[in-house]
Amino acid sequence: MKNIMGKSLRNKAGNKIALLVLLASGLIVSGCTHSIEMNSAHFITPMTNDNQWGGMVALSGAKPTTVMLVEGIGSNPPVRNGVKINDDINSTELILLEYLDVDLKLSVYPSVEVTVDSEVVGVKWQFLNHRQSDTVLASLLVGYGSRSKESSTGTAKAKTELQTTRTGVSVGYGFAEWAPYASFVYDQHKTKTEVNNNSGKFNYDDKGTHQNISIGVSTRGQALAAALEFNHVMLDWDGAKKTSQDGIGIQLGYQW
């Protein structure tokens, strides 16, 4: 009799443990978030390379802007309580350089450069005082880019296609070897997210704007390319509370 009761108790305990493990697994799957990170520093300076076919290769670092699109990709339906921006980041963390990126520039025509910043390919035109020193400089930029981001946990998967349209302007003062500047960048983002889990397929469209005001300083006409800028980014996504983000960006590279 004692053996039978012992086996029964052990079976009940085992069933409870199995149930707890199953519930915990379900919570982990349901709770997996899906976010996309975007660069918060763009280093749009007021000058282009002095020489045609001159260019730059550089590594830049800044704190990313994190946009959470889905809170739980394993739920039925997936958990979405609006888009959330930098939801798990505090202001003191924004000085860290977590977003590393390769920046490219190539002057294809006097005063005109092709630029690559993250997924965005742009064209920058220095329309004021090209190849001049000790004077005011200014440039305009337009760009477009796209990329995808995937997340998964268990059998649940999420994929987002991001499209970005960019316009920017930069004004500064060009000394012989360096230039302080101020710039404004306006990014329009559109995302298409598809979530696949055991309950089916779910699709979501989101859009938002990032307005980036930067004050910085950059080297000019030297083999060592370096820039430092402070950024204030105003973030506005449909379904999200308007917010802002402050941070610094650092860029180091080689220029020819």
User: Mapping DSSP to helix (H, G, I), strand (E, B) and coil, where does residue 237 land?
Assistant: strand
Q: How far is CA 207 from CA 27, 28, 121, 189, in A?
A: 29, 28, 20, 5
Q: Whole-number mean pLDDT of the chain?
A: 88
Query: Of 30, 66, 34, 28, nearest to 159 (Cα)?
Result: 34
Where residue 190 falls among pLDDT bands split at 50, 70, 90?
A: very high
pLDDT higher at 156 or 21: 156
**Among 138, 99, 139, which Cα is nearest to 119's?**
99
CATH code for residues 33-255: 2.40.128
Q: Is 219 within 8 Å of 176 (Cβ atoms)?
A: no
**Looking at residues 160-174, what average pLDDT do you find?**
99
First CA to last CA across the chain, in angstroms? 88
Strand partners, 253: 58, 225
Residue 154 binned pLDDT confidence (cut-offs 50, 70, 90)? confident
- Pick from 104, 107, 105: nearest CA to 52: 107
For the chain, give every domain's residue range: 1-31, 33-255
Give the pLDDT band of residue 87 (cuts 50, 70, 90): confident
In the chain, % of residues over pLDDT 90:
75
Distance between CA atoms of 84 and 124, rounded to whole angstroms?
A: 32
- pLDDT surpasses 80 at 9: no
The pLDDT assigned to 85 comes to 95
Q: How many residues does the chain have?
A: 256
Element containing residue 26 per DSSP (H, E): helix 2-31
Greater model confidence, 184 or 79: 184
DSSP character at residue 89: -
Q: What is the tens place of the pLDDT at every residue in 24-80?
A: 444 444 458 999 999 999 999 999 999 999 999 999 999 999 999 999 998 889 999
* Neighbour tally for 256: CB within 10 Å: 11
- This prediction has a pTM of 0.84
